[in-house]
Amino acid sequence: QVQLVESGGGLVQAGASLRLSCATSGSFFSIYAMGWFRQAPGKEREFVAGITWSASSSYYADSVKARVTISRANAENTVYLQINSLKPEDTAVYYCAARRQWNTGSKFYTWNEYDYWGQGTQVTVSS
């Protein structure tokens, strides 16, 4: 089992930056990759960014890649999501997720290929 705990969300003004954290515990050695997703009220879950546990590969949604950086701190077993130039449309609950497998044809953005999810952290951006 893997436990994921997100933090770092909050209420900020447009143009600000936030760094979200996802602390992992448990059998993190079984993790192949991590992902960040978000879900706004009334909207579907949306992929934001993903990174392999080794941090050798990362992938971003086109809609945010100019403003977002995903990274992993080895010593802390923590994955970060840096979001710059926040916009009101970034308002959502942000979730981190972990997956154990990667098969031929797998994609970072396929949410149902992730095995573990955190409880989410709310990001609210005011205009």
Q: What is the pLDDT of residue 7?
A: 97
Residue 46: beta bridge partners?
Answer: 38
Q: Divide the 127 residues of the chain into consecutive groups of 10 and give the mean pLDDT of each group.
A: 96 98 90 96 96 93 96 87 97 97 88 95 97
Q: CA dihedral in degrees (97, 102, 103, 109; nearest 10)?
A: 40
